[in-house]
């Protein structure tokens, strides 16, 4: 029989976000929800909507309690995943957050924390619902592969700022932070997926762009080839608060256009959401093997 140690930590501390130009007097803490499953050592297991004025396209999950892999033999992916922490950041919330925060450390540019995200042109499905559904399925799939998953949030009413989102990845010393979004355009014929990646705007991002680009490219290729949609490529950004505050590799996937009637309909479909999650999980496993 296989035994697992499962640690579930649910901490939520609400503090004031200090992003004004004056000195910080309070720290802002949103504790992520961590789901960890540690196999025993003895086991044989071996904008778009994202423009510079709206804040980032864009935040903890309760891990399943019964996700123990049933295989008696050890998949290779499980071996390579041990000890790797992946932060999944479902974009947006059920309400916008119009507070301001600094776009980068030492920057005087202030941006809105969360402009609210897009909505389906026909279905009217809000982006945050799709982002969360895919994120939760992705969490479960990656936990089964042996990764430790930290969700920035699992509650759609929690509307984090992008510095908070970045600090969760930093505090976890994440191997990778994947931010989950869907896109929108005034042109309803535009379709496909893209991967936003950081640009070297400060010492923090200079240190993470190579790994972010490498992972982003592999995961986007997996997503578009498995699901069958246009690959719009990497999309480097210098204006993303959630990137500019990150000290760990971070990427943001746009899983298709809610402004495109066909992709809108697909993005609201449960089977399609499951397909997106599987393709992202496969891409992550490929990138981090
Ligand atoms: Zn978004």
The rounded Å distance from CA 197 to ligand 1 centre is: 14
The rounded Å distance from CA 50 to ligand 1 centre is: 7
Residue 190 has pLDDT above 90, yes or no: yes
The rounded Å distance from CA 51 to ligand 1 centre is: 10
Domain that holds residue 105: 46-67+78-287
The rounded Å distance from CA 270 to ligand 1 centre is: 19
The rounded Å distance from CA 93 to ligand 1 centre is: 10
The string of pLDDT tens digits covering residues 14-72 is: 333 333 333 333 334 455 666 544 333 333 333 444 443 456 764 333 333 344 444 44
The environment of the single-atom ion ligand 1, i.e. residues with CB closer than 5 A, is: 57, 91, 117, 181
Q: How far apart are CA 280 and CA 91, in angstroms?
A: 15
The rounded Å distance from CA 105 to ligand 1 centre is: 22
Which H, E and C letters describe the chain, residue by residue? CCCEEEEEEECCCCCCCCCCCCCCCCCCCCCCEEEEEEECCCCCCCCCCCCCCCCCCCCCCCCCCCCCCCCCCCCHHHHHHCCCEEEEEECCCCCCEEEEEECCCCCCCEEEEECCCCECCCCCCEHHHHHHHHHHHHHHHHHHCCCEEEECCCCCCCCCCHHHHHHHHHHHCCCEEEEEEEECCCCCCCCCEEEEEECCCCHHHHCCHHHHHHHHHHHHHHHHHHHCCCEEEEEEECCCHHHHCCCCCEEEEEEEECCCHHHHHHHCCHHHHHHHHHHHHHHHHHHCC
> Does a structural domain hold residue 7?
no
| pLDDT at residue number 20 | 32
The rounded Å distance from CA 76 to ligand 1 centre is: 34
> Does a structural domain hold residue 191?
yes
The rounded Å distance from CA 253 to ligand 1 centre is: 9
Q: State how far Cα 140 lies from the chain centre.
A: 14
> Does a structural domain hold residue 27?
no
Name the one residue in this structure whose structure tokens are 């961590």.
Answer: 34
The rounded Å distance from CA 181 to ligand 1 centre is: 4
The rounded Å distance from CA 182 to ligand 1 centre is: 5
The string of pLDDT tens digits covering residues 105-124 is: 989 999 999 999 999 999 99
The rounded Å distance from CA 120 to ligand 1 centre is: 12
- What's the pLDDT band for 82 if we cut at 50, 70, 90? confident
> Does a structural domain hold residue 117?
yes
Mean pLDDT rounded to a whole number for the chain:
82
Question: Mean pLDDT across the stretch 177-183?
Answer: 98
Residues 6+ apart with CB under 8 A from 98: 112, 113
Number of domains in the chain: 1
Residue 125 has pLDDT above 50, yes or no: yes
The rounded Å distance from CA 128 to ligand 1 centre is: 8
- What's the pLDDT band for 83 if we cut at 50, 70, 90? confident
| pLDDT at residue number 203 | 93
CATH (domain of 263): 3.40.630.40
The rounded Å distance from CA 6 to ligand 1 centre is: 32
Q: How far apart are CA 97 and CA 115, in angstroms?
A: 6
The rounded Å distance from CA 252 to ligand 1 centre is: 9
| pLDDT at residue number 56 | 75
Predicted model pTM: 0.79
> Does a structural domain hold residue 227?
yes
> Does a structural domain hold residue 82?
yes
> Does a structural domain hold residue 28?
no
């Amino acid at each position: 029989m296989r035994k697992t140690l499962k640690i579930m930590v649910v901490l939520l501390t609400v503090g004031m976000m200090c992003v004004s130009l004056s000195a910080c007097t309070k720290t802002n803490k949103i504790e992520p929800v961590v789901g960890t499953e540690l196999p025993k050592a003895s086991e044989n297991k071996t904008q778009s909507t994202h423009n510079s004025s709206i804040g980032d396209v864009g935040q903890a999950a309760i891990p399943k309690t019964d996700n123990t892999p049933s295989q008696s033999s050890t998949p290779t992916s499980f071996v390579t995943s041990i000890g790797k922490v992946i932060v999944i950041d479902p974009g947006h919330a059920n309400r916008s957050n119009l507070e301001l925060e600094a776009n980068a450390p030492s920057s005087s540019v202030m941006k809105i924390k969360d402009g609210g995200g897009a909505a389906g042109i026909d279905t009217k499905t809000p982006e945050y619902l799709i982002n969360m559904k895919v994120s939760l399925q992705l969490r479960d799939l990656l936990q089964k592969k042996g990764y430790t998953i930290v969700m920035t949030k699992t509650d759609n009413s929690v509307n984090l700022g992008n510095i908070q989102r970045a600090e969760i990845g930093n505090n976890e010393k994440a191997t990778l932070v994947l931010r989950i979004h869907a896109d929108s355009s005034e042109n309803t014929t535009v379709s496909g997926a893209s991967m936003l990646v950081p640009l070297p705007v400060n010492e923090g991002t200079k240190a993470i762009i190579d790994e972010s680009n490498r992972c982003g490219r592999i995961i986007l290729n997996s997503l578009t080839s498995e699901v069958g949609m246009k690959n719009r490529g990497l999309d480097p950004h210098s204006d993303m608060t959630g990137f500019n505050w990150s000290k760990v590799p971070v990427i943001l996937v746009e899983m298709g256009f809610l402004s495109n009637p066909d992709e809108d309909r697909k993005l609201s479909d449960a089977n399609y959401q499951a397909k997106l999650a599987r393709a992202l999980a496969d891409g992550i496993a490929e990138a981090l093997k």
